[in-house]
Structure 1
Amino acid sequence: MAEVKLFGVWASPFSRRIEMALKLKGVEYEFIEEDLQNKSPLLLKYNPVHKQIPVLVHNGKPIAESLVIIEYIDETWEGPAILPKDPYERAQARFWAKFLDEKCPPAIRKACCSTGEEREKAKEEVIELLGFLDNEIEGKKFFGGDNIGLVDIAGNFIGYWLGIITKLVGIEIVTEDRFPNFCRWINEYNNCSFVKENLPPKDKLTAHLKAWFEALNTSE
């Protein structure tokens, strides 16, 4: 049997992406919890370039970067397709997954960690970005159509983590008036039984993020 190990952090949306993809394919794996303040020698060995989680190790061979790992999982194991088979649809899925990785987190981080005019400017940027997603999801159950696909998995941060974070910092971004289609996707996504099984408990994640924000504010 193939040996599969995942180096990650339970509260990381990027680690959770990989767990979701593995479970969607029915792949058994060992999860190795990392301490990002004291990274293990194995993590540094397997990902010497970025020195970050997640890292998937399959039969001793490491693969880094969450979106790269998801495509590897999709191509390596049988089971429900994560990326579309059609070349154009596949390219579109990659585009939106990259958009979620490169555009959304920096803007959201700035909106949540800044104050005053800088925060308001960052909020407007986030609202603009989510508007693109609202248009993209219109008329569809999931970004992947009727079934969860690459973009839905990549969107776990904005589908689950974002609501908790904005509530903690006291800002309002995602509303049904602004984003009716996006809010419907969030409800579909978070109420999907498979997704529920593969997200961290809300209370535990809220406490973790609250402690992180408090530590961040103390260090400033």
Structure 2
Amino acid sequence: MENQSVSLLLELSILTKFGRIKPLCSLLTFMRQARFWGDYIDKKLYDTARKIYLTTGDEHEAGKKDFIEILKVLEGALGEKPYFGGDNFGFGDIALIGFYSWFHAYEVYGNFSIEAECPKLVAWAKMCMKRDSVAKTLPDQHKILEFVKILREKLGLE
């Protein structure tokens, strides 16, 4: 067992010395970040966004505030990069872009402008929509708005 550890340490030392381990470390870091943002979007954004069109009063106002804060965190994570993964469209982008078709409904029922609050995030979404794989997959934002209106009527919120 000790020989295996020494052998592994020696191999890692050689790989590090010749710069061959850096890409592996970068890949692992990238994968951890992608998982983190995917999880963050899944757990935070969905439930908060629903409060914008499914609640009223204080809960509605708190939902709007929290939603905008989450978007600002995501916009900060995007920074000046074209995609969450840097130069490449990746997992974080995939996790978030599905919400873009809902942005119009959030704005209508939340009475705010996502573009005014998070212009870089909206620019990112518009750039993603230029990708055929995204544009052909997402539902039309006006159909989403109509769906939300019908849902609110059925729930007695209209």
1:1-220 map, 5 Å: 86-161=27-102, 163-176=103-116, 178-217=117-156
Question: Unmatched 5+ residue regions in structure 2?
Answer: 1-25
Q: How far, CA to CA, are the matches of 1:194 and 1:156 in structure 2? A: 11
SS of the equivalent of 1:132 reads: helix
Q: How far, CA to CA, are the matches of 2:48 and 2:110 in structure 1? A: 16
- Structure 1 or 2, whichever has the larger Rg, is 2
Structure having the larger proportion of residues in strand:
1
Amino acid aligned to 2:155: L
- CA root-mean-square deviation: 2.2
Amino acid aligned to 2:111: I
- Higher RCO by CA contacts (8 Å cutoff, separation 6 or greater): 2
Q: TM-score, normalised by structure 1?
A: 0.54
Query: Deviation of residue 94 (structure 1)?
Result: 0.3
User: Following TM superposition, where does structure 1 have runs of at least 4 consecutive aligned residues deviating by more than 6 angstroms?
Assistant: none
Amino acid aligned to 2:131: C
SS of the equivalent of 2:81 reads: coil
Structure having the larger proportion of residues in helix:
2
Check conservation: 1:96, 1:151, Cα contact below 8 A. Answer: yes
SS of the equivalent of 2:83 reads: coil
Q: How far, CA to CA, are the matches of 1:131 and 1:101 in structure 2? A: 16
Check conservation: 2:53, 2:148, Cα contact below 8 A. Answer: no
Q: TM-score, normalised by structure 2?
A: 0.72
Amino acid aligned to 1:184: A
Amino acid aligned to 1:188: M
Amino acid aligned to 2:86: G
Q: How far, CA to CA, are the matches of 2:142 and 2:105 in structure 1? A: 12
Per-residue deviation, residues 150-190 of structure 1 (Å, max 9, x unmatched):
111111333222x13224425215133x2122121121122
Question: Unmatched 5+ residue regions in structure 1?
Answer: 1-84
SS of the equivalent of 1:125 reads: helix
Q: How far, CA to CA, are the matches of 2:156 and 2:42 in structure 1? A: 25
Query: Deviation of residue 211 (structure 1)?
Result: 1.9
